[in-house]
Each structure stands twice: as C-alpha cells, then as structure tokens.
A and B are shown apart, each in its own frame.
Chain A
Amino acid sequence: MARMRFLCDTERCIDCSGCVIACKEGNHVPVGINRRRVITMKQGEPGEKSISVACMHCSDAPCIAVCPVDAIYQRDDGVVLVSKKTCIGCGYCFMACPFGAPQFPKGSVFGARGAMDKCTFCAGGPEENFSKEEKKLYGQNRIAEGKVPMCASMCATKALLAGDGDVVADVFRERVFNRGSGVNAWGWNKAYKKS
C-alpha cells in the first residue's frame, strides 16, 4: 500500500505561491482559510529560502491524539482527514500541530464557530467519493481519480512533490544525485578525456 507524502525542495521553491492559488481555486477554499502557505526566511538577504507548508499527514499525528471527539482519522494510505460533521471546532489540534495546519472559519470575535479545515491531500473526506456533500465540505477528491494533489500538479519548478512516498523519494534522490555532481560542468569532458 502506498504511503502518501509531501516533499518541498527548498532549492527549487521560488516563493511564487502557485501551490496556494491552485489549492484555493481547485477546492474553492474560502478567503482566510489557508490549507497551504509559502513561508520565506531571510527575505531579501543572502541565504533567503522559501518553503511551501501544509498538513504533513504525520504517521503519528498529534492532532489525532488530542482530538476530544475523535473527528480526525488516518486512512490506510496515510492521509489524515477530519470529519467536519463530528468536529466541534475546539482548536486542540491547532495547539498540537507543529505546522500550524488546522484552519478555522473567520468571523467576529464572538461569532466564530465551525469545524476545522485543513489540507486533505486532495482526497475529499469521509463522505461518499465524488458526492456533492464531499465536494461541498472538503473540495476535490483527486486521489480517488488517480491524480496528484492540485498544489503539486501546478508547481512551476517541481519543487513541491506529492504522492506515493517511495516514488517521491526516488524523484528527489535522483535530483540530489544530479545536483552539483559536476558531470556536465565546463571542462569535465576535457578533464576526463571524453570527446
């Protein structure tokens, strides 16, 4: 069974927020709810790096452990989902999550109610696949269609990889192997006496 993983290659991420827009447009996420965001460190200085962050679908997810109503669950493929019909919006998961992934509806101070929302790995929710209810509550179910999540599919530089962890690891391993190997550098052929 595949184990779903995200990987953001910080050497490739250019802080374009294409993943954020793809996620929001593709799933009709309300303004103010950020299932994914791009974080930049040392902006405008040497060493500037950006990384796209969403729910990491942890193997031992702290959000599942702390949820008082057991609204959060993990599928066999590792995708962590929330049942919005069960969630009471208490925010314990928000405190437990190391990535700031859980999102809550915005409203005035006394009016903010509603279930937690987060990245679904574009795998919908507990409702029947492709049902209207699923689409309304969670957005697309691209995994059931055999597609990668919107964010990774739209990434301009292929910095954001998503899918079966084994495949993602292979792609990344090959990239790191090529990176800086010098095989195609100027002078290589001459130095190693290739024509």
Chain B
Amino acid sequence: MTNSLNDIRHTKSMIFIGSNATENHPVSMQHILHAKEVNNAPIIVVDPRFTKLAAKATEFVRVRPGSDCAFIMGLVNEVIANGWEDKEFIRTRVAGYQEMVEVAKHYTPEAVEDVTGIPAEQTRRVAKILAQNRPTSLTWCMGGTQHTIGSSITRAFCILQLVLGNMGKSGGGTNIFRGHDNVQGATDMCVLSHSLPGYYGLSDGAWKHWCRVWDVDYDYIVGRFPDKEWMGKKGFTLARWYEGVLAEEELETPSPVKALIQWGCGTNSNSQYNRVVKALNKLELLVIVDPFPTAAAALTKTDNVYLLPGASQYETSGSVTSTSRQFQWRFKVVDPVYDSKDDYEIMSLLVSKLGFADEFYKNIKEVPEDITREINKGTLTIGYNGQTPERIKKHMENWHTFDIEDLQAKGGPCDGDYYGMPWPCWTEEHPGTPILYDVSKPVAEGGLPFRNRFGLEKTYDSSGRKENQLAADGVYNPGSEVKGGYPEFKDVVPGTNWKTDLTQETLKTAIKRGMAPFGNARARCVVWNFPDQVPIHREPLHSPRPDLIEKYPTYEDQPNHYRVMTRYKSEQKPELVKEFPYVLTTGRMVEHMGGGAETRSSKYLSELQPEMYAEINPRLANNLGIRKDDMVVIESPEGSKIKVKAFITPRVDDKTIFLPYHFAGTLMGESYLKDYPEGHEPYVVGDPGNTVTNYGYDIITQIQATKDGLCKVTRA
C-alpha cells in the first residue's frame, strides 16, 4: 500500500478491482465505510461477482474475468479524451506518458465493451465519477494479479492513478490489501526464488551486501552452491515447484527437486492440484511445519513425511509488517502447548543439525530481538532501518497516543512518530513514511519523492523520443537542497551507495540535506524490460471468446521461466470453449483462511461454512437441470474433476462458476480423512477447488492464473 488503511478515511472515492475486502479484510471496512459515510465517497466495485463488497458499493461493474486491463486502459483513455488528466502532475512527475497515451487510445468505451462486457456507458460514467471525486483510493488484490497478464493489469492500475494525479496524496494511492498481519513482512524479506531479502535481487553485489550484513565470508556462501553460476539464477516458484519434482516438463536445473519443507503453507492453494499430489508422492523427503496437519500430510502416501508441530502466533513473539507497511510486535500469550515448538526453535535445531549454526547465528544472540536488528542493519532499500525492537515495543505500549486520522502520535513518548513507523523509516530518529511519494512534507518528517531507479534518461522504442527520467524543476520536498529532480545518492562513503552503505552515513547525509536517499525521479508508464512495455489486454490462455484471440493473442511460450518451460501460445486453443463453455474463477470466504487447515479445524468456523460448493447462476442451473443442493461435477480442460454442492445464487452471472479454494479432505467426493493422524482430522472436508483451476501463469512473476479458466459443469 502506498497509503494506509486509516488514510482511506480521507478519500473522496474508492475503486476496488479484484478485491473483496468485506470477506478478506473485514477490519479495513471500518475505514472504507467511514469514507463512504462521512465524505460521501462513491464506492466502485469491479468484479465478476456481485460480492459482499458490491453490496456496499454505489456502482457495481461486472467485468469478464481476465479483462481488467482493458477496462482500466479504457478509463485512462476516457479520462484523457475528456481532458480530465492531472496535467501538472504528469508534466512534472510522470515519464513515458505520450507513449502510453498512444496505446490507451485503442481502448475506447466501445472496444472495452467488446472485451470486458461492461457497457460503454458505464465505462464513461465510472471515468467521470473518478474525475469528479479526487483523490481516489484504488485497491486490488489477487483478482487483479492471478492472470497470465497480471503484471500488466497491476501496472494499468498504477497508470490510472498517475494520470488522475492521485499518487503521493492523502486519500489517494494504490492500496493493495495484504492478507494478514505479516504478509507484507514476508514479501519484504523476499521469501521468493528470485531475490535476497529487501528486493536486492540475486546479483553478486546483492550477495556481497548480505554477506557483510550477516558477517559471513562471501566465499563461504559461494562454497555452499554446487557451482557459483546457480547463485544468480532464479529458482522454482511457489506456483510451480512440483514441476521440479515431476520432471515431466522441460527443466533448467542441476537436479530435480527431491526434498520439500512446507513451513506454514497449505498446498491446496496451488492450482493444478492433481499434479501437486502426484509430486508430493514422488518426493524423497517431505517436512511439514504447521500447527495443524495440512492436506499434504494426509495425501502423501509415502512413509518419508515428517510432521513438526509448529506453535501458533500466540505462542511466540517477534516483529511483523502489516499491509500499511507498519511494524508491530507480537507478544507471546502462552508457552507453546503440548510438544509444539515455536519457529525459532525449530529453525535453530535444524540449523545446528545441518552444521552451520555459527555462521547462521553470528549476529543473533537474543531471539527474536536480534533478528529484527539484523533486518534493520541490512534492509536499506526500503528503509527498514529505524524500526528497532525497542521503538516497535514502545509504539505497541502507547497505542492510545496515536491519532486514528493520520496515525501520528500527538504528544506522549512517541511524539511525532507515525504508528508502526511505516517504511521507509530511514533512521532511528525518522518518524516513518505514512504516505509514499508525498512531496508536501520534508523527507525527515515522512515525505518522499518518486525513486530514481531506472537511469537518468531513456529513448523510447515506440516513439524514438528521449526523456529525462528525473522529476521536473520545482518538484521537491520542503527543505531540499536541490529544487527539482536529482539522482540517487552514492559515494558518500566511497565505493558504496545508499543501498549498500552499512554505516548508514549516506542515509543520514541525504536526510540532512532535505533529500531522499534514492533520488527524485518520475514514475514511468513505459517499462522497457517487460514484454508489454505499456499494459495491453491479452486473452486468457483458455478464453471463452475465441473470436478475440486473434486480436489479443497471448505471449510466445517461455522456456526456462523460473527453471521450467511455461506454455502460452501453444496452450491458447480457440476450440476449447466448445467443450468447456463456462468461465471458472476462484476466491475466498470470510470464515476460512488459505488452505483451511487451521479454520476447518475450528468447530465454530466449520459450523458456519461446513461444505464445499460451486456458485451457479439460477438461469444456468435451470438450463443444466441442476436444482438446489444437487451435487455437480466440475471438469477442467486438463481432465481433472471435482464433485461439489451447487449453490444457486445470482452472485455470479450465467457464464461464470465460482469456487472457494479453502477445502480439502476429499477427492471426487471420496474421503481421505482416515489418512490424517488420528485425532487431528479437520471437522470439515471437501474437494479442493484448485483441482480444476486451469493451466496458466503470469509472464513476469509466474503467479498462477486461477481467476480466468474454463470448465464444464454437469449434474452428478
């Protein structure tokens, strides 16, 4: 989030696209509804389903799954066609604007209607609402990202906000809601296959930086790899790790994956679940660390599965980073119950057994405080420096001194700080940055320009135009020595830059001069290192509109995409829709969480949502002869099937089937409850929705495309 949940209280309009905050982020709703009530702020909900959030909307826009980019570019085009763009903001703080406009021109309200199914009149109306009610807060979640073009869709969201001039302002921003109190923290630590913590990437420089932080010899780390070249290569992703086990697709890896540790992870959130189950049973070693036995524990029939009972969040402590980039301290409520152990202890026992405890714990003597301190020391890129354990705890103890409206402490021991010191919090004196890219405040007081990350100038491929990438003269934070754009800071301490200077002298110098360590640049609309430099619509791999495939084709197949061949063009078959005529999309329900291991083991939550189901529109149900409470079989183009109860509801339209993905414990109605450790069976079981989610992965991130597949439905 560029802003915070609390800051949504100041918005003048809201647009949610691919987000169902009422079910997934209920607490955020108090701020959303506050803005609706007090500011008269319209709520626009763009979704294939009439969700519980749509029930609170002033405008519901039903979009065909996977066509979000076309709609947003349509809004961009409509805003510009009417002269509603923020001309001064664009002139001074945006790059690649003209090149983007050329692309957006294609997305007239009529072209948008053809692709998305949204009436042209509604696109015009929504554009006008956004133009007349600024600033707008824009929120997306996995409905925006889980597509083959997810990376383009999310960029289109950002471009819309730049064009409207809604960035760096209270009440504006791109506000991506994260699922629980530390999803942002996990992301920032890059629990991912393509980057070291803090988004440093996998370059030699990145490895050397972290070796300095860890106080470990770089050559020692090199020696841990079979060959140095593998240190810089991306690994398998969460979406496709099982391909590394199965080795049926073309792989680029020194060896197939043989062992897997799943630490607090429900496998049934993986698409192509039949392949996942096959891979689980091929592994030589599977270790599951979780407070509850997960579906994987029951589905793996081999005898090399180890269940380590991990403690819950109430049985341990440590720092976490919330969706609003705020740091909080979790305090332990009780000691771990029975024979469970907290994550730190499990990790420590594992590391000692593997024989590198000395290197691993060089800076870590007091757990968990020293872990936070090591993160403070090394994560300079996003300003994780000033949030020391002492400061975080002080904030927790003085909640009452922070203002609900702007999150700032007014008096008291944390006077002037923003709650949780939202990153970047550059130094131990810095109050945190409540709103990113806000040039109205001094950097020392939480202000920030756009980061200079992509060079000083660029000649665009599409136009041949050369453009300065730094902010225009006159755009700067109050007190800045340079009254306009400037590049990132380096060589303050010779041989280092702001990201690698562990003395943090560079950060302090920049702030003393009233400037941001990472420079003052423009936000770019053209991303020259992406296959689509400006976001465009491309049809989902399995499209219900074969007539659009030629006009909006997908990408070429990608060999070695995170080590595995990923099909695009060869998978996009126009004839598929004849046999699989309905769009399949998935999502969550408020009662369950992720793979559901935890919530389906709660008797009360299970009582509220005791059954897996498929949402089917009444018209479609009648056409297919499906009656209330009938069982239906849903089949995917990959040939996998699930048997679930029909939930007949107008939430979905008559071309779309919706599945929640939290269930497991049966396959095609066949129970495998007997395979759970005795006494640990969940109360509620059902067929995993992800058994039938289709093939498809984002071109950049490889996130699974679970929101826009196809399926066939029959009465069981």
Contacts and interface: CB of A to CB of B under 8 A. Distances in A.
Interface of A: 11-12, 14-18, 20-21, 24-25, 31-32, 43-46, 48-50, 156-158, 175, 178-187
B346 interface: no
B354 interface: no
A179 to B, nearest CB: 4
A184 B171 CA distance: 12
Interface string B113-136: 000000000000000000011100
B39 interface: yes
B55 A49 contact: yes
B604 A14 contact: no
A185 to B, nearest CB: 4
B607 A157 contact: no
B60 A46 contact: yes
Interface of A is mostly: loop
A56 to B, nearest CB: 22
A44 B651 contact: yes
Interface in B43-66: 49-50, 52, 54-56, 60
Given A44-B50, A185-B39, A14 B133 contact: no
A14 B26 contact: yes
A44 B649 contact: yes
B650 interface: yes
Interface in B581-635: 590-591, 603-605, 607-608
Max chain A CB contacts within 10 Å: which of B30, B55, B603, B605? B55
A158 B30 contact: yes
B352 interface: no
B252 interface: no
Contact of A180 (B37, B54, B133): B37
A23 B709 CA distance: 39
A178 B37 contact: yes
16 contacts: A12-B29, A16-B590, A20-B604, A21-B608, A24-B604, A31-B603, A43-B649, A44-B50, A44-B649, A157-B26, A180-B37, A181-B40, A185-B40, A186-B13, A186-B132, A187-B132
A34 to B, nearest CB: 9
A111 B354 CA distance: 59
Contacts of A43: 649, 651
Contact of A186 (B30, B56, B133, B649): B133
Given A14-B56, A48-B55, A157-B29, 8 more contacts: A14-B26, A14-B29, A15-B22, A48-B54, A182-B40, A184-B38, A186-B12, A186-B13
Interface residues of B, number: 35
A16 B12 contact: no
A44 B604 contact: no
Nearest to B132: A186
Interface of B: 12-13, 22-23, 26-27, 29-30, 33, 37-41, 49-50, 52, 54-56, 60, 132-134, 590-591, 603-605, 607-608, 649-652
Contacts of B607: 31-32
Given A25-B604, A31-B607, A11 B26 contact: no
Given A43-B649, A178-B37, A157 B30 contact: yes
Nearest to B56: A14
A11 B132 contact: no
Contacts of B652: 44
Contacts of A50: 52, 55
A45 B40 contact: no
A13 to B, nearest CB: 10
Contacts of B49: 44
Contacts, number: 84
B12 to A, nearest CB: 4
Contact of A15 (B40, B52, B603): B52
A156 B29 contact: yes
Contacts of B608: 17, 20-21
Contact of B27 (A46, A156, A187): A156
B52 A14 contact: yes
B30 A11 contact: no
B109 to A, nearest CB: 23
A60 B696 CA distance: 62
A35 to B, nearest CB: 12
Contacts of B132: 186-187
A20 B50 CA distance: 24
Contacts of A46: 50, 60
Contacts of A16: 22-23, 26, 590
B33 A157 contact: yes
A180 to B, nearest CB: 6
A175 B41 CA distance: 15
Nearest to B21: A14
Contacts of A44: 49-50, 649-652
A31 B610 CA distance: 12
Minimum-distance CB pairs A-B, first 5: A44-B651, A48-B55, A156-B26, A185-B40, A14-B22
A158 B651 CA distance: 26
A126 to B, nearest CB: 27
Nearest to B10: A184
Contacts of A49: 55
B33 A186 contact: no
B624 to A, nearest CB: 18
Given A11-B33, A31-B604, A156-B26, A184 B39 contact: yes
B591 A45 contact: no
Contacts of B27: 156
Nearest to A178: B38
Contacts of A181: 38, 40
- Taking each of B49, B50, B60, B132, which has the highest tally of chain A beta carbons within 10 Å of its own beta carbon? B50
Contacts of B591: 17
Nearest to B134: A186
A39 B568 CA distance: 45
- Most A Cβ at <10 Å: residue of B27, B33, B603: B33
A173 B412 CA distance: 32
Nearest to B40: A185
Contacts of A156: 26-27, 29-30
A182 B40 CA distance: 6
